[in-house]
């Protein structure tokens, strides 16, 4: 039914076993363990670009999280309108919620496929998907520190109806010595991976009740689930889980720092643009005239009069009153002011002597 998953997974595993088998030997437990680890690395490398898109989508959603909360409160009684407004807001910001879930959704069938393929490697079986009978026998006989990769802690000791520790020729103590450290390390790696992701959330997102519940699940419940599930998982699956979390932790560190540098560069560029467009100190910013209004001429600051104006202002009062002109310091003769005297009046505004004599006559 899921052969479209089982065959690609088994093919990648076969390729890496072929590589490491030439180094450590075909039946070496190290060759098979490294094949499982690099199977994870291959799949995660393919999903690297979608993961970057997931991080960017999460960043954008955190930025307009307050707007989403407003929509939820505004349309609390109309779920259909609420969904429409939220979808509209997400499309305006270029966010696709399903795109952020793609890496996680792809890992689920890969985990199921690897689990099924490894559980199919049983003693006495023939071909298993891309592996022939010799490849299956090589995996069954491979031991990692005395434990087979297909064995797990709760595997029965001797049961004719299902594979048992006796069929693999190993002891439970050997399985415990290998599985328990892997379980603990994988659980700790899961916790630190979740902690590193939660630490990147904004305060507004962390205060969301749904987000707070998910944070607790990822920080404590999921690591505990790995620890408990390790009792039933084959050693190869524990290797898969450990290498997957190690890759995720390193990938988060690289991608988050890369995005932080990009955002910091954008902030510096925006600040530089605002500084370039801002008016210089002491200069009044220019205002655009209203429609139909003539632009007002800019006033010169005090103390910046022209030389001619300064010369005219420095003339004596009598020279300005009698209309005479005197050359200024530059040698140019300014225009004489028109006389403001009234006929019959002296400069001191008193009647002249001639007019007084006429009145007496």
pLDDT tens, position by position, 222-271: 888 888 888 888 899 899 889 988 898 888 888 888 877 877 887 788 78
**pLDDT value, residue 205:** 56
**pLDDT value, residue 350:** 47
Dist CA 22 CA 38 (whole Å): 15
**pLDDT value, residue 284:** 66
**pLDDT value, residue 306:** 45
Domain map of the chain by residue range? Answer: 3-272
**pLDDT value, residue 361:** 45
Output the CA–CA distances (angstroms, integers) from residue 58 to 70, 94, 142, 228, 361, in the order listed: 19, 11, 43, 30, 109
Q: Which residues of 195-215 are buried (b: 16+ CB within 10 A; e: fewer)?
A: eebbeebeeebeebeebeeeb
**pLDDT value, residue 169:** 83
**pLDDT value, residue 11:** 92
Q: How many Cα neighbours within 13 Å face the side chain of 36? A: 26
**pLDDT value, residue 337:** 47
Output the CA–CA distances (angstroms, integers) from residue 65 to 195, 228, 240, in the order listed: 21, 35, 35
- Note if the pTM is more than 0.85: no
Residue 247 sits at φ, ψ, to 5 deg, of: -65, -45
Q: Contact, 241 vs 183, CB < 8 A?
A: no
Dist CA 182 CA 203 (whole Å): 34
91-136 confidence digits (pLDDT tens): 776 666 555 566 667 778 877 888 888 778 877 777 888 888 888 8
pLDDT in tens, the chain (361 residues): 678 888 888 999 999 999 999 999 888 889 999 999 999 899 888 888 877 777 777 777 766 667 777 877 888 787 788 778 777 777 776 666 555 566 667 778 877 888 888 778 877 777 888 888 888 888 888 888 889 888 889 888 887 878 888 888 888 999 999 999 999 998 998 888 888 777 766 555 555 666 677 777 788 888 888 888 888 888 998 998 899 888 988 888 888 888 778 778 877 887 887 777 766 666 666 666 666 665 555 555 555 444 444 444 444 444 444 444 445 444 444 444 444 444 544 444 444 444 444 444 4
């Amino acid at each position: 039914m899921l052969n479209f998953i089982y065959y690609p997974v088994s093919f990648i595993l076969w390729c890496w076993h072929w590589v490491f088998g030439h180094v450590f030997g075909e039946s070496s437990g190290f060759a098979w363990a490294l094949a499982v680890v690099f199977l994870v690395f291959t799949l995660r490398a393919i999903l690297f670009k979608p993961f970057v898109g997931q991080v960017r989508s999460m960043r954008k959603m955190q930025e307009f999280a307050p707007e989403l909360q407003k929509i939820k409160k505004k349309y609390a009684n109309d779920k259909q309108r609420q969904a429409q407004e939220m979808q509209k807001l997400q499309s305006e910001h270029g966010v696709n919620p399903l795109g952020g879930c793609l890496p996680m959704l792809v890992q689920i069938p890969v985990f199921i496929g690897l689990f099924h393929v490894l559980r199919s490697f049983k003693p006495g079986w023939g071909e298993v998907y891309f592996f022939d009978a010799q490849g299956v026998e090589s995996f069954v006989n491979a031991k990692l520190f005395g434990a087979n990769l297909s064995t797990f802690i709760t595997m029965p000791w001797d049961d004719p109806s299902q594979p048992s520790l006796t069929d693999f020729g190993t002891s439970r103590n050997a399985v415990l010595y290998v599985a328990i450290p892997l379980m603990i390390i994988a659980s700790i790696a899961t916790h630190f991976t979740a902690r590193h992701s939660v630490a990147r959330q904004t305060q507004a997102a962390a205060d969301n009740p749904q987000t707070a519940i998910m944070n607790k699940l990822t920080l404590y419940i999921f690591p505990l689930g790995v620890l408990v599930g390790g009792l039933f998982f084959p050693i190869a699956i524990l290797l898969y889980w450990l290498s997957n979390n190690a890759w995720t932790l390193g990938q988060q560190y690289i991608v988050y720092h890369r995005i932080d540098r990009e955002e910091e560069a954008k902030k510096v560029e925006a600040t530089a643009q605002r500084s370039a467009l801002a008016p210089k100190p002491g200069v009044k910013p220019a205002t655009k005239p209203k429609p139909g209004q003539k632009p007002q001429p800019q006033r010169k600051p005090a103390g910046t009069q022209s030389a001619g104006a300064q010369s005219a202002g420095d003339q004596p009062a009598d020279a300005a009153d009698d209309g005479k002109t005197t050359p200024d310091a530059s040698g140019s003769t300014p225009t004489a002011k028109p006389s403001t005297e009234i006929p019959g009046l002296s400069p001191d505004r008193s009647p002249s002597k001639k007019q007084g004599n006429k009145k007496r006559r």
